[in-house]
Amino acid sequence: MISFTLWGFAQQPERELDSLKYQLKSVKGKEKVDILTDISKYFWQINPDSSIFYAEKSLKEAKNEGSDDALGDAYNALGNAYSSKNLNETALNFYLKSLEFRERNGNPLKIGNSYHNLGLVYRDLKQFNLAVSSHNKAIEFYEKAKRFDLVVLSYNRIASLYNQINDKNKALEYAFKALNIANDNNIDEGRANLYNLIGSLNRDLKNLELAEKYYLLAFKEWEKSKDSGGLSTAYNNLGIILDEKGDLQKALEYYTKSLDFATQLRDSSGIATAYNNIGYLYARIKEFDKALNSYFKSYDISVKTHQINAAHNTLNNIASTYLKQGNLEKANEVLNKALKNILTVDDPSYKQETYQLLSELYAREGDFQKAYRYKAIELAYADTLYTQQRLSSIAEMQTRYETETKEKEIELLKKDVELKELQYQKQKSFQQVLVSLTLLLLAIFIGTSLILGIIRKKNKQLAEKNKELFEINQKLKESEKNLSELNATKDKLFSIIAHDLKNPFNALIGFSDILERNFNHLTENEKKEYISVISESAQSLYKLLDNLLQWTRAQTGSINYIPEKFKIEPLIKQEVTNLNANAEKKKIKVCVNTSPVLNVYADKNSIATVIRNLLSNAIKFTDIGGTIEITASESKEYPKMAEVVVKDSGVGIDENDIDRIFLIDGSFSTKGTANETGTGLGLLLCHEFVNKNNGKIWVNSTKGSGSEFHFTIPLA
| pLDDT tens-digit readout, 513-563 | 788 888 888 888 877 777 877 876 676 666 667 666 666 666 665 567 789
Q: What is the mean pLDDT of residues 3-14?
A: 36
* pLDDT over 90 (residue 567): yes
Q: Is 633 helix (H, G, I), strand (E, B) or coil?
A: strand
CA neighbor of 321 nearest in space, from 351, 291, 296, 294: 291
Q: What is the pLDDT of residue 543?
A: 63
Q: What is the mean pLDDT of residues 237-241?
A: 87
Interval 54-63: pLDDT, tens: 889 889 988 9
Give yes or no for a contact between 40 and 49, defined as CB atoms under 8 angstroms apart. Answer: no
Interval 606-636: pLDDT, tens: 899 999 999 988 998 999 999 999 999 999 9
Distance CA(340)–CA(358), nearest Å, equals 13
Q: What is the pLDDT of residue 517?
A: 82
Interval 684-715: pLDDT, tens: 889 989 999 999 999 998 888 899 999 999 99
Q: What is the mean pLDDT of residues 5-12?
A: 33
Interacting residues of 331 by C-beta distance below 8 A, sequence separation 6+: 319, 322, 323, 357, 361
**Higher pLDDT residue, 160 or 452?**
160
Other Cβ atoms less than 10 A from the Cβ of 511: the count is 17
How far from 261 is each of 305, 357, 526, CA to CA, in Å? 18, 34, 59
Q: What is the pLDDT of residue 27?
A: 82
Q: What is the pLDDT of residue 105?
A: 93
How far from 71 is each of 55, 105, 307, CA to CA, in Å? 11, 10, 43
Write the DSSP string, 71-100.
Answer: HHHHHHHHHHHHHHTT-HHHHHHHHHHHHH
Distance CA(82)–CA(538), nearest Å, equals 57
Counting DSSP H helices and E strands in the chain, the numbers are: 26, 7
Segments in 519-626 forming alpha helices (H):
524-556, 568-578, 580-585, 604-620
622: Cα within 13 Å, side-chain hemisphere = 28
* pLDDT over 90 (residue 643): yes
Give yes or no for a contact between 151 and 139, defined as CB atoms under 8 angstroms apart. Answer: yes
* pLDDT over 50 (residue 15): yes
**Bridge partners of residue 697, in order along the sequence:** 711
Q: What is the mean pLDDT of residues 91-117?
A: 93
Interacting residues of 502 by C-beta distance below 8 A, sequence separation 6+: 383, 386
Q: What is the CATH number of domain 560-714?
A: 3.30.565.10
pLDDT band at 391 (very low <50, low <70, confident <90, very high): very low
Q: What is the pLDDT of residue 502?
A: 59
pLDDT band at 3 (very low <50, low <70, confident <90, very high): very low
Q: What is the mean pLDDT of residues 160-167?
A: 85
Interval 317-372: pLDDT, tens: 998 999 888 999 998 998 898 888 888 887 888 888 888 888 888 888 888 888 88
Give yes or no for a contact between 680 and 696, defined as CB atoms under 8 angstroms apart. Answer: no
Interval 394-451: pLDDT, tens: 444 455 545 555 555 555 555 655 666 666 676 766 667 667 777 787 767 776 777 7
* pLDDT over 70 (residue 294): yes
What pTM does this model have?
Answer: 0.50
Distance CA(96)–CA(122), nearest Å, equals 12
